[in-house]
Structure 1
Amino acid sequence: MTHPPPPVLHPARLRPTDLLRLGLVGPRARPLRSVLSALGIALGMAAVVAVTGISASNQAHLLDRLDRLGSNLITVSPGTDVNQQPMPLPKESVAMLGAIASVQQASATGDTKAAIYSTDLIPANQTNGLSVRSARLSLFDALRARLHSGRWLDRGTAKLPVVILGDSAAHLLGVDAPGQKVWIGGKHQGVHSEWYLVLGILQPNELAPEIDNSALVGEAQATARLDGDRAPSTVYVRARPENVAEVQAIAGATANPAAPNMVAVSRPSDLLKARAETKDTLSGLVLSLAGVSLLVGGVGIANTMVVGIMERSGEIGLRRALGARQGQIAIQFLVEAFLLGLLGGLTGVTVGAVAVYAYAAAHTWPATVPVVWVAIGPATAVAVGTIAGLYPALRAARMSPTGALRTAA
């Protein structure tokens, strides 16, 4: 009598849904430990998104400001001679700079011997670092300035005791609206001390921060009543955008042909860009620290999984005894590490994006969240989590059924 051949036994195959269900066993059994393990990756990813997003928002704000203020502004001011003494600009320097073919507009401010105070009872030496300068009527347009309130000087008011305050000057003097009066005077012989009516208050100007700490009076009033210099202290030149470099190169020789090397020529927008680059350097440092956070998060996942394997050795031994292959055991724990990394990545990207929008709203910046990090952030976190779980998964797969059951017992 012949017997039928024994049936061929094939190893059980786990479907993707089975693997997912098995991978969730650990996180569901120990939710607090799993959340704390994913927290390290979440913090690192949140830092990456927040830092890059805030930096991008700042850049967008800077570009918006430069578009409005214009990056074609050049400032020309007196340099110093060999004895480190100021070398005044000629009185004709504004007209000569304005005559350059590529210059759209040239204007200037001048120094005075006066100081400004909120009342006439304040000691003369308490100036709060504020300056009283003469201003040409064209200065407002040359700087592309904006008024917070009030109005700018005209031909009539330039001869009267009225003043335009920069943003910081108005704040330090306690002036919050036009129509208030301030005291301008000094002990110099040519200065006539008297009350001045505040005609307008300017908004902050990033390209000319010295204006923010200044009180501006008409040129005629400054020379007649405040012993103002007839030579300009700073000339503001607007060049055609395509010819800025050429104008910057010849501005010194044009402003003072007799001593071109004793003229300081600068481009304020370059300072803004340099400041932005400095922030980018700091952002790089923070991103490095964020990378360390990701590494620490990965180590946390690996540690949690190693401890989990020791606690679940009975489960591993039983599954091996029932026929589970090494690869299936390894995949189970890799799926668990994958899920922890995914949880940390998604949480980190969400928290980072919220931080960017909150910070941008607080500073009235356009919020910019880098799409690259939103896309690759979770993938990076998953990669970190999976790599961190590789060793524990292989360790679990190498456990023999008898050894695992003996350890559990």
Structure 2
Amino acid sequence: MSPLSRLRLADLLPVATIGLRTRPGRAALSVLGVAIGIAAMVAVLGVTRSSQAQVLAQLDRLGTNLLTVASSQPKGAPEEQLPATAAASIRRTEGVTSASGTAQIPDAHVLRNDRMPANRHGGLDVRATDPELLSTLDGALLDGVFLDAATARYPVVVLGHQAATVLGIAEVTGYERVWLGERWFTVVGILRQVDLAPEIDRAALIGFEVAKSEFGYQGHPSRIYVRTDTALTEQVENMLPRAANPQNPGRTSVSQPSDVLTARQAVDDASTSLFLGLGAVALLVGGIGIANVMVISVLERRGEVGLRRALGAARRHVAAQFVVESVLLGAVGGGVGVLLGAGVTVALAVNRGWQPLIPPEAAGGGLAAAILVGTIAGLYPALRAARMAPTEALRTA
């Protein structure tokens, strides 16, 4: 009785790489197919994680404890007035750390000079506000100063970031003026962009006192910004309608501007699922490419298989040879794909000013998926090679 054939592990790798070494072009194309799929998946996850980290950092910086109180109205309609006591009542509400009222001045336009027609105001608003607005919004000045108790009674204006851009004013020189209503106002400050209050970005801000004297402001705010104790934000949000308008709380709406950023992150998550699906399709195509290459390899190497079987190689050894070859194709493709995906993530994140983040599960999972695809793709060709009878393989070679 002849002894059982044995194949040492040290010999398996050289035998399994014969096809790769003799047909490098075909092997490279198979590796590329898998690499594209893995690179797509790693890049999508990496870019998404970097983007989400940026959004979360922005939320942490801006705070999720900012609430906006206004009258309930259709989107795009002019702001309605709230009771004159609304801001003071809100400040007395438990959990409120600061509150600042603003009032949209109707029919007042912001123009670069008094020669421009009123319909060329560029969609900019005039808003009256108090000196606490900047601290409540946690805003910052690009140049100049904000309104204070002294300047709020004089014809001076602080421009939102977008308003200053539209008007072509980049800095505060002391000589820059804009035409509000029927008189000149001196620009004393320009705000940086306020992410959670876009209406402030496109507004010209004046004090309540000058709004009364120049525009007939009656003391009724139309929008109030409220900063709360973070732990009590939800509780405060439920109390604000009655605090702002005790007689008709149903006509008052309270919104949380940071929800916009959260919604944007949800959209990014939905897009991520789509792109991951596309990456999975690309990986599937790569796996089919490996399977195709391995089937052709088996057909082309019938003589080699028949000779090895005739010399005593067992079926399991032949099967192991082709499975290992397929796994190597998948592993190399996965490794290249992970590197490509990481490179794309870093390049895009640096270009956008994000911190590059490559999830370990994306890199590890991508490599594992490539190896799994390679294994599955090689099973059928390996079993087909193992079932070849030595005589038939040699005769048809």
TM-score (norm 1): 0.89
Cα distance between partner residues in 2 of 1:29 and 1:404: 20
Tell me if the contact between 1:117 and 1:182 (Cα under 8 Å) persists in the aligned partners: no
Match of 2:19 among 19, 26, 29: 26
Tell me if the contact between 2:84 and 2:219 (Cα under 8 Å) persists in the aligned partners: yes
Tell me if the contact between 1:116 and 1:182 (Cα under 8 Å) persists in the aligned partners: no
Matches within 5 A, 1:142-291: 142-179=136-173, 181-185=176-180, 191-194=181-184, 196-197=186-187, 199-228=188-217, 230-291=219-280
Tell me if the contact between 1:340 and 1:385 (Cα under 8 Å) persists in the aligned partners: yes
Cα distance between partner residues in 2 of 1:214 and 1:30: 68
Tell me if the contact between 1:87 and 1:262 (Cα under 8 Å) persists in the aligned partners: no
Matches within 5 A, 1:4-403: 9-80=2-73, 87-112=80-105, 113-179=107-173, 181-185=176-180, 191-194=181-184, 196-197=186-187, 199-228=188-217, 230-403=219-392
TM-aligned CA distance change 1:231 to 1:373, over 3 Å: same
Identify the range of structure 1 (221-230 vs 99-108) with the bigger mean alpha-carbon deviation.
Answer: 221-230
Tell me if the contact between 1:337 and 1:385 (Cα under 8 Å) persists in the aligned partners: yes
Look up the SS of the partner of 2:118 in the other structure: coil
Cα distance between partner residues in 2 of 1:279 and 1:150: 37
Cα distance between partner residues in 2 of 1:224 and 1:337: 83
The answer for unaligned runs of 5 or more in structure 1 is 1-7, 186-190
Tell me if the contact between 2:176 and 2:186 (Cα under 8 Å) persists in the aligned partners: yes
Cα distance between partner residues in 1 of 2:275 and 2:110: 43
Cα distance between partner residues in 2 of 1:306 and 1:32: 16
Question: How far apart are 1:287 and its partner, in Å?
Answer: 1.3
Identity of aligned residues (%): 44
Question: How far apart are 1:173 and its partner, in Å?
Answer: 2.6
Aligned partner letter, 1:109: T
Question: How far apart are 1:252 and its partner, in Å?
Answer: 0.6
Look up the SS of the partner of 1:356 in the other structure: helix
TM-aligned CA distance change 1:367 to 1:226, over 3 Å: farther
Look up the SS of the partner of 1:137 in the other structure: coil
Cα distance between partner residues in 2 of 1:138 and 1:61: 28
Cα distance between partner residues in 2 of 1:120 and 1:155: 28
Q: How many residues align?
A: 393
Cα distance between partner residues in 2 of 1:200 and 1:136: 14
Cα distance between partner residues in 1 of 2:317 and 2:194: 65
Please give the per-residue CA displacement for 1:328-354, whole angstroms capped at 9, x wherever unaligned.
Answer: 111111111111111111112112222
Please give the per-residue CA displacement for 1:183-219, whole angstroms capped at 9, x wherever unaligned.
Answer: 333xxxxx3232532x333222222122222222223
Cα distance between partner residues in 2 of 1:329 and 1:89: 83
Aligned partner letter, 2:18: V
Cα distance between partner residues in 2 of 1:76 and 1:224: 26
TM-aligned CA distance change 1:347 to 1:242, over 3 Å: same
Tell me if the contact between 1:23 and 1:336 (Cα under 8 Å) persists in the aligned partners: yes
The answer for unaligned runs of 5 or more in structure 2 is none
Aligned partner letter, 1:126: R
Tell me if the contact between 2:157 and 2:185 (Cα under 8 Å) persists in the aligned partners: no
Tell me if the contact between 2:294 and 2:378 (Cα under 8 Å) persists in the aligned partners: yes
Look up the SS of the partner of 1:129 in the other structure: coil
Tell me if the contact between 1:79 and 1:88 (Cα under 8 Å) persists in the aligned partners: no
Question: How far apart are 1:43 and its partner, in Å?
Answer: 1.9
Please give the per-residue CA displacement for 1:142-181, whole angstroms capped at 9, x wherever unaligned.
Answer: 0011223333222333233333222222333333222262
Tell me if the contact between 1:115 and 1:132 (Cα under 8 Å) persists in the aligned partners: yes
Question: How far apart are 1:367 and its partner, in Å?
Answer: 2.2
Cα distance between partner residues in 1 of 2:357 and 2:301: 45
Question: How far apart are 1:229 and its partner, in Å?
Answer: 5.8
Look up the SS of the partner of 1:299 in the other structure: helix
Look up the SS of the partner of 1:232 in the other structure: coil
TM-aligned CA distance change 1:192 to 1:120, over 3 Å: closer
TM-score (norm 2): 0.92
Identify the range of structure 1 (302-311 vs 144-153) with the bigger mean alpha-carbon deviation.
Answer: 144-153
Look up the SS of the partner of 2:127 in the other structure: strand
Cα distance between partner residues in 1 of 2:113 and 2:336: 56
Q: What value does the CA root-mean-square deviation take over the aligned residues? A: 2.2
